[in-house]
Amino acid sequence: MKPPAFDYIAATSVEDAVAALARSEGEGKLIAGGQSLMPMLNFRLAGPAVLIDVGRIAGLDGIEETDEGLTVGALARHAALETSPGVAKHLPVLAEAMRHVAHLAIRNRGTIGGSLSHADPAAELPLMAVLLDAVLHITGPEESREVPAEEFFIGALTTDLEDEEMVTAVTFPYLPAGCGWGFEEVSRRSGDFALAAAAATLSFEGSVISEARLAVTGVDDLPLRISEAEEGLMGGELTEEKISAAAESVQASVNPNSDAQASADYRRHLIGVLTARVLRAAAARATGGGL
């Protein structure tokens, strides 16, 4: 239960970090909070030749309100999002989701960039990024680029990141005025990974749904938006029939695993129940409409 030996570099800037990654020729790994990587090192599931510590790079932990949305630096901690007034004001669904991330000591140390890059298929932050149409800011040795969250996540622990790139920030567009939201998760114990989790946002014009977003996690290799269910919700009131149809659509779209925690059938059952709950919660919170 001790990490294997590795070379260690404390990067002083993003440029420094990606240059070190490029020099490591695929054998390097970034570490920040280390809350996913350290257990893998302790178990020796990971054995990088060189560990590049980005945790001391200055100015990467901000939470800024910009015209495009809330831009969160890669080194911001989960606990900072959980308690940020800007998050509470513009993205309350994100604050709620953060309360479900592991435990206090993990949230105090785990970083936003780390969670997104790790891409655990049951983690809350990737779900939020996909739900909220977040954009990831990525820097490599040659250039910087921006990638929508839905394109960033490719599979379990697999992202669009190249070996020599790092996530530097993520921008969450603000929820539209009057938009309602819901987040629901079931785990075996408080702080455990989600057996299944769902999140939704609904906007209404009068009693008519004008925008619907629905995303789920823990029930496939990556967090998924369920566009078929979203389309079915649009253009009328939120009825029990629509809720049932959305839940069935979600259950048909996902491909859950069986493991020691729960069977695939149970996860599929759960995600249908949670889908109905988040839609009802979103409608109840929305202004100008709802059940």
Partner 1 sequence: MSGKHRLQLRVNGVAHDREVEPRLLLSDFLRDELDLTGTHVGCEHGVCGACTVLLNGDSVRSCLCLAIQAEGSEVTTVEGLGSVDQLNSLQEKFREHHALQCGFCTPGMLMTATDLLSKNKQMSDEELREGLSGNLCRCTGYEHIVSAVRAAFADKGGDGS
Q: Which residues contact 140 (CB under 8 A, 6 or more apart)?
A: 18, 162, 164, 165, 166
Q: Should residue 53 be labelled a site residue for partner 1 when binding is judged by CB under 8 A?
A: yes
> Of residues 102, 112, 179, 219, which one binds partner 1 by CB under 8 A?
102
The helix or strand, by DSSP H or E, that contains position 138, with its residue range, turns out to be strand 135-139
Q: Is 264 in the site for partner 1 (CB under 8 A)?
A: no
DSSP code, position 77: B
Closer CB to partner 1, residue 97 or residue 276? 97
Distances (CA, A) of 48 to 5, 35, 87: 9, 16, 35
The site string for partner 1 over 169-198 (x = CB under 8 A, - otherwise) reads --------------------xxx-------
Return the amino acid letter for 79: A
Does position 58 bind partner 1 by CB under 8 A?
no
Binding flag, residue 44, partner 1 (CB under 8 A): no
Q: Is residue 106 a contact residue for partner 1 (CB under 8 A)?
A: yes
Sign of CA dihedral 191, 260, 220, 29: positive
Give CA–CA dist 75/18, Å, rounded. Answer: 15
First vs last C-alpha separation in the chain: 53
- Nearest alpha-carbon partner for 198 in 107, 97, 112: 97
Residue nearer to partner 1 on the CB measure, 9 or 147: 9
Choose the binding region for partner 1 from 49-57, 87-95, 116-124, 134-142 (rule: CB under 8 A): 49-57
206 binding partner 1? (CB under 8 A): no
Indicate which single residue of 14, 18, 21, 51 sits in contact with partner 1 (rule: CB under 8 A): 51
Q: Give the H/E segment covering residue 227.
A: helix 227-233
Rule CB under 8 A: which of 7-26 touch partner 1? 7-10
Structure tokens at 37: 């990587």
The residues binding partner 1 (CB under 8 A) are 1-10, 31, 34-35, 38-39, 41-43, 50-51, 53, 55-56, 79, 99, 102-106, 108-109, 189-191
